[in-house]
Amino acid sequence: MLDKNVVIAHRGASAYAPEHSYASYDLSHFDMRADYIELDIQMTLDGEIIVMHDETIERTGLTQGIIKEMKLEEIKEIRIGQWFNDKFPELAQKYYLEQTVPTLKEVFKRYGKANYYIETKSPDIYPGMEERLTMILEEFDLLSEERLSNYQTVIQSFSLESLIKMNQLKSNMPLLLLCQKGMLRAMTDEDLKQISAFVYAVGPNYKDLDQWLIERLHRLGFLVFPYTVNDEADMERLINEGIDGAFTNHPDLLRKQFRLDNGEVFEDE
């Protein structure tokens, strides 16, 4: 069960390769042995779910376009590696230039029964996202009782409404609430207890955490996975203060701080 020393590869090993690309996922999953591949999802004009952080293709695609106004065919023409090579010339690789935007189905075909953290991005602008996501997860047999009880398929969001929809669609789906800085401190214990009825973990901004808050969240029944922890000194501090895992662009460094020789990786069925 993935509930301690958890290494969540944020957009893959995105410190070393273009985020949300096969290059990044391959590195985090096969080479660095992260426990999870973390995916941000958006929806195209023709209802396909793709994996990309932004609502536009401008930053990583280096061209203009709003995802909800584009068909999948248009998005597939975009390459998402040039920006990384330009920004990090010391890490540049020629094959990054051929990286394309993956669909969620393509990710599942490539990595099979890997462990996934899937974030519903901007679900308010994508009506039906949760239903479509659930259908795809079922299509790839990623909602089995075994996987859900072992937290192998997890849905996360900054939108509590989106998590409520996912809970209504699949009542035993492991859910994580992402939290902006200050949000958890502002919530009462009673507020948090109501959320804990269907949310098993919280993802606070790592700068918001200290031992007092971590212990409070544990007492209320949550696991604590902060984002996005990339500095080894921050990793060490948070581990000493009691986090259960973290989102990181550096899965290799976090595994080292957790003193792991091998991640807890579930084999393909």
Q: Identify which of 106, 160, 165, 110 has the alpha carbon closest to the alpha carbon of residue 136.
A: 106
End-to-end CA distance of the chain: 16
The rounded distance, in Å, linking the Cα atoms of 208 and 195 is: 19
User: 204 - beta bridge partners?
Assistant: 179
CA nearest to 52, candidates 64, 63, 65, 39: 39
The active-site residue, picked from 20, 53, 218, 250, is 53
Nearest-angstrom CA–CA distance, 158 and 135: 21
Does 53 participate in catalysis according to the annotation?
yes
Query: Which residues on adjacent β-strands are paired with residue 224?
Result: 202
Q: Exactly one of 10, 20, 29, 250 is catalytic; which is it? A: 10
Decide if 23 contacts 96 (C-beta within 8 A): yes
Question: Is 250 noted as a catalytic residue in this protein?
Answer: no
What count of other Cβ atoms lies within 10 Å of the Cβ of residue 115? Answer: 26
On whether the CB atoms of residues 111 and 145 are closer than 8 A, the answer is: no
Tokens of 98: 């051929």
User: What's the Cα-to-Cα distance from 5 to each of 23, 42, 157, 175, 206, rounded to whole Å?
Assistant: 24, 29, 21, 18, 16
Contact 165, 130 (CB under 8 A): yes
d(CA 208, CA 10): 18
233's enclosing H/E stretch is helix 232-241
Residues with a catalytic annotation lie at 10, 53
